[in-house]
Amino acid sequence: MSTLQEFPQDWQRALVLVAHPDDPEYGMAAAVAEWIAAGKHVSYVLATRGEAGIAGMAPTESGPLRTVEQANACAHVGVSDLVFLDHPDGRIQEGPALRRDLAREIRRVRPDVVLTLNHRDEWGPGRWNSADHRAVGRAVLDAVGDADNEWIFPELLEAGLPRHKTLWVAVMSPQPTHAQPVSAASIEKAVASLAEHARYLQALSDEPVVEQARAQVQMVAGSGAVAFELFG
Ligand SMILES: [Zn+2]
């Protein structure tokens, strides 16, 4: 982490734009908890309800369940503004419809910082990233520009949403440039928030949910910082 630059602190509003319930909870939530404790405001917008995410459970059942799990996860870090865009889980299409939805949310929340998950082809060395993460991450980077251009989606202006310039986009990518320090208390909030995705985690492993959550969050934030690739 010593080679990474300090994450900017001179901002007030952040918007997390990700594909699935639980995407913010794998470490990013520790930074969110840190920022909210410092008096900043953070909103979450999820492209899907993660309805295709639990083996053996039909989307009609898992969508509503995961919606509740996500709201409970948000409560641990102090996020109360949670919106779902209802794109189809596993089949999110990168393109103008997604960019318009994301640009609309950027203009509604008017963040200084937009955060998203890894948009690159690889999740990490030797691991292919998911189609939804690639689509949403890339569309987020595009939508930040769309939100600041009145001509790309003029219907947004007609709906009463004027253009908005975001200062930074922070991506949880394998090529980080900046680090946000996080306290032990913020890491514990992140563990509690990930553990709320209980049914999802139970489907992944027989290990107790809290132990799974602690191991996952420690992997990302255990050094006392969460790393992001920052685009300005
Ligand atoms: Zn995901």
Query: To the nearest whole percent, how much of the chain has pLDDT over 90?
Result: 98
Going from the Cα of 159 to the center of ligand 1, the distance in angstroms, rounded, reads 30
Going from the Cα of 198 to the center of ligand 1, the distance in angstroms, rounded, reads 15
Going from the Cα of 108 to the center of ligand 1, the distance in angstroms, rounded, reads 23
Going from the Cα of 19 to the center of ligand 1, the distance in angstroms, rounded, reads 6
How many whole angstroms separate alpha carbon 100 and alpha carbon 95?
A: 9
The neighbouring-strand residues paired with 141 are: none
Average pLDDT, the chain: 96
Are 166 and 114 a contacting pair, CB within 8 Å? yes
Please check the confidence at residue 58 and state whether its pLDDT lies above 90.
yes
The neighbouring-strand residues paired with 179 are: 6, 227
pLDDT tens digit sequence for 102-119: 999 999 999 999 999 999
Q: What are the residues whose beta carbons fall under 8 Å from the beta carbon of 50, sequence distance 6 or more?
A: 20, 21, 22, 62, 63, 66, 70, 89, 200
Q: What are the residues whose beta carbons fall under 8 Å from the beta carbon of 77, sequence distance 6 or more?
A: 29, 32, 33, 36, 42, 189, 190, 193
pLDDT tens digit sequence for 64-75: 999 999 999 999
For residue 122, give both structure tokens: 């690889």
Going from the Cα of 13 to the center of ligand 1, the distance in angstroms, rounded, reads 23
Going from the Cα of 53 to the center of ligand 1, the distance in angstroms, rounded, reads 9
Beta strands 13-18 and 122-124, pairing class: unpaired
Going from the Cα of 123 to the center of ligand 1, the distance in angstroms, rounded, reads 11
